[in-house]
Amino acid sequence: MREKILKPNVDKVELWLFVSMMLVATMIVLGGATRLTNSGLSITEWAPIKGMLPPLNNQAWLIEFEKYKLIPEFLAEHSDMDLAGFKVIYFWEWSHRQLGRIIGLVYAIPLLYFIISNKIQKGKLINFLAILFLICTQGFIGWWMVSSGLINDRIDVSQYRLATHLGVAFVILACLFWLWRNQRESWPDNSGNKNLIWLTSILSLLVYLQIILGAFVAGLKAGRTYNTWPLMDGDFIPKGYMSLNPYWRNIFENIGAVQFNHRTLAYIIILFTICVFIAARNNRRLRRALLGFKILLVVQVLLGILVLITGDALWLALTHQFSAIILWLSIVNVTRLARFN
């Protein structure tokens, strides 16, 4: 096992990366709250500069409310909403967008300073710039997602675009975490056990795929159906699992199939984690990290079951999403350790 070299003090780059990572994690949870409160379509325009401020007087609020009344979601789900109710859902979406702006500034401005002051490790600048590109791109993806719910008589955003938006957020989070750990501790430039590298990489891909499947469950509101466990309304495989044509659409558009796939992949991840843990039995540091991941995985599965049988309760669903963030960071850490142990 290679010995890591800890740095004696927290440096500015490390602190900056940690703050950026925490903001992105908060952004993911806030995005979940925005979705679960049905607030995501309350702001019907994308105004990166003008939209920094919310409506400042009653007339401005009425104008925004009238815009919202024109979209299909209002007529289908909020036709009895008054201005006070609109302000609540507007607040959720505005806060989500505002935090996105803050993340961009918190990341970009210090990055410029660190580049000018030569604080970025030699040869690593491309990694920091790649994250900046992803953060900027994420803003466009966010509006691309929202705009899908404003056209063609839709009352929700496209589950495909929602999954893309969430997937990019978790990639950004993983990249920030990886750089933060690299900044916090340095390792000799040696390769770890190749088998463990492959196994942990596959496990991390499975977890990421599960997160994407979770986005499809959320986008289709599939968690509000088949609210029984372990069977789905009395069946292991729900009726109509392959009812759509062409068949590939069932994976992404069939509510029963999407929920079944999400459940099944959770069981696969549990079994595969046990296999990886056995393979890492002679690697003390990696085994310890995998044990932490296994505990988090069990918690996440139990939370998922509770969310399901309670019918997508808001606080449980948000806890489930927050737990997914911790679980994701845990498996990224495991994957990183495998490369250097």
At 2-12, the pLDDT tens digits run: 445 445 455 89
The enclosing H or E element of 6 equals strand 5-6
Banded pLDDT at 1 (limits 50, 70, 90): very low
Banded pLDDT at 336 (limits 50, 70, 90): very high
DSSP bridge pairs for 185: 6
Cα distances (angstroms) measured from residue 265 to each of 209, 254, 259, 273: 9, 16, 10, 12
Q: What is the mean pLDDT of the chain?
A: 91
pLDDT at 7 (0 to 100): 54
Q: Quick one: what percent of the chain has pLDDT higher than 90?
A: 72
- Whether the CB-CB separation of 200 and 285 falls below 8 Å is answered with no
Query: How far apart are the C-alpha atoms of 221 and 255, rounded to whole Å?
Result: 8
Q: Tell whether the model's pLDDT for residue 126 goes beyond 50.
A: yes
Percent composition of the chain: helix, strand, coil (DSSP 3-state, to 5): 70, 0, 25
pLDDT digits (tens, 9 = 90+) for 259-307: 999 999 999 999 999 999 999 998 889 999 999 999 999 999 999 999 9
pLDDT digits (tens, 9 = 90+) for 54-113: 999 999 999 999 999 999 889 888 888 999 999 999 999 999 999 999 999 999 999 999
- Whether the CB-CB separation of 32 and 321 falls below 8 Å is answered with yes
Q: Tell whether the model's pLDDT for residue 191 goes beyond 80.
A: no
Q: Tell whether the model's pLDDT for residue 216 goes beyond 70.
A: yes
Whole-model pTM over 0.85: yes
pLDDT at 215 (0 to 100): 95
- Label residue 252 exposed, middle or buried (CB < 10 Å: 0-12, 13-18, 19+): middle
Banded pLDDT at 193 (limits 50, 70, 90): confident
Mean pLDDT score, 171-197: 83
Question: What letter does residue 193 receive in the DSSP assignment?
Answer: -
Q: Which of 20, 33, 21, 165 is nearest to 89 (CA)?
A: 33
Q: Quick one: what percent of the chain has pLDDT higher than 70?
A: 94
